[in-house]
Amino acid sequence: MNHLITTPLTPTKVRSYFLAQLPAEELPGIFFEVSSQSLLHSIAAYFSGTDSRPSCTLENIVATVRYPHIGHVLAMLSTDSECATWVHQLQTALSRHAVLQVAAVTSFIDIILGYIRPDEQAQQRVHSFISAFAA
């Protein structure tokens, strides 16, 4: 399992992996399903963009989802034209003070991928990278 979470993946493989982990029972709603997939896809696409960004691994993606300030994550993702379209709905919700809705999306992802525990280096790498955008 450790090899899987540290291996660089394409955005399509990240999406496929996430969908395979979804429970068989009914999901919490279309907003959460679509928004969680959009957020994961945009993070994966962003990290796949250039070598100057963290690599597109499950541990880096999970560390990004768990970053304490989702507004900083969305601002970072919106600097990439492809990613901006994927996160637009979440940014709109956040701008309308629907913080709990956006937090529920990240919590939903965290529940599904909760068994992935990024190591301290991955967390620090991602947090430092995102913090540079917030400064």
Indicate the domain borders of the chain: 2-134
pLDDT at 78: 92
pLDDT at 124: 93
Instruction: Report the C-alpha gap between 74 and 64 in whole angstroms.
Output: 10
pLDDT digits (tens, 9 = 90+) for 55-93: 999 999 999 999 998 889 999 999 998 899 888 888 888
pLDDT at 88: 87
Helical (H) or strand (E) element with 93: helix 81-95
Low-confidence stretches of the chain (pLDDT beneath 50): none
pLDDT at 27: 63
Which conformational region is residue 74 in: left (phi greater than 0), alpha (psi within -120 to 50 degrees), or beta? alpha
